[in-house]
């Protein structure tokens, strides 16, 4: 259909990793679980019409890129981790926007809560 704007979403829920990010020495030494949620914005109609993987985003490739960022580096802030994931997604995949949510289910913070984390939204300019 001509003149119709389409922005579709590919999503990844709770990708789980064990890594060594954090502001406290014990986080960098002992590590902890991190969960990553992603939303990638892209027009998916051409891929759907052609039933062609080359016209969309390979989910396994996205997973490997995120795994490499999360498990292959150490950051003080989850904000830096989220920003780095977003940068790698926008650099390596033909998407318009990316939303990244990084959750720490078990941070060393006293109190009662389910989890803490950050969410960012980045797009091409």
106 within a domain of the structure (yes/no): yes
Q: What is the DSSP letter of 13?
A: E
Catalytic residue among 14, 42, 45, 104: 104
CATH of the domain at 46: 3.30.1130.10
Residue range(s) defining the domain that contains residue 99: 8-123
26 within a domain of the structure (yes/no): yes
104 is catalytic: yes
Place of tokens 């803490």: 116
What's the pLDDT score for residue 1?
54
Strands 97-104 and 8-19: what pairing?
Answer: unpaired
Measured between alpha carbons, how far is 103 from 105 in angstroms, rounded to an integer?
A: 6
Instruction: Please give the chain's pLDDT, 125 residues, in tens.
Output: 577 778 899 999 999 999 999 999 999 999 999 999 999 999 999 999 999 999 999 999 999 999 999 999 999 999 999 999 999 999 999 999 999 999 999 888 888 888 999 999 999 98
50 within a domain of the structure (yes/no): yes
Measured between alpha carbons, how far is 87 from 1 in angstroms, rounded to an integer?
A: 32
> Contact 13/74 with Cβ under 8 angstroms?
no
Per-residue pLDDT tens for 24-60?
999 999 999 999 999 999 999 999 999 999 999 999 9
> Contact 19/31 with Cβ under 8 angstroms?
yes
3 within a domain of the structure (yes/no): no
105 within a domain of the structure (yes/no): yes
Mean of all residue pLDDT scores within the chain: 94
Measured between alpha carbons, how far is 107 from 113 in angstroms, rounded to an integer?
A: 10
2 within a domain of the structure (yes/no): no
Q: How many domains does the chain have?
A: 1
């Amino acid at each position: 259909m001509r003149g119709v704007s389409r922005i579709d979403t590919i999503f990844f829920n709770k990708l789980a990793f064990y890594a060594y990010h954090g502001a406290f020495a014990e986080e960098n030494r002992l590590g902890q679980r991190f969960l990553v949620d992603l939303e990638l914005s892209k027009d998916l109609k051409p891929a759907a019409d052609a039933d062609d993987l080359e016209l969309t985003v390979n989910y396994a490739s996205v997973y490997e890129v995120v795994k490499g960022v999360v498990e292959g580096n150490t950051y003080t802030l989850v904000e830096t981790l989220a920003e780095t994931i977003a940068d790698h997604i926008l650099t390596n995949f033909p998407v318009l926007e990316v939303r990244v949510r990084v959750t720490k289910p078990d941070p060393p913070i006293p109190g009662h809560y389910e989890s803490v984390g950050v969410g960012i939204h980045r797009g091409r300019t």
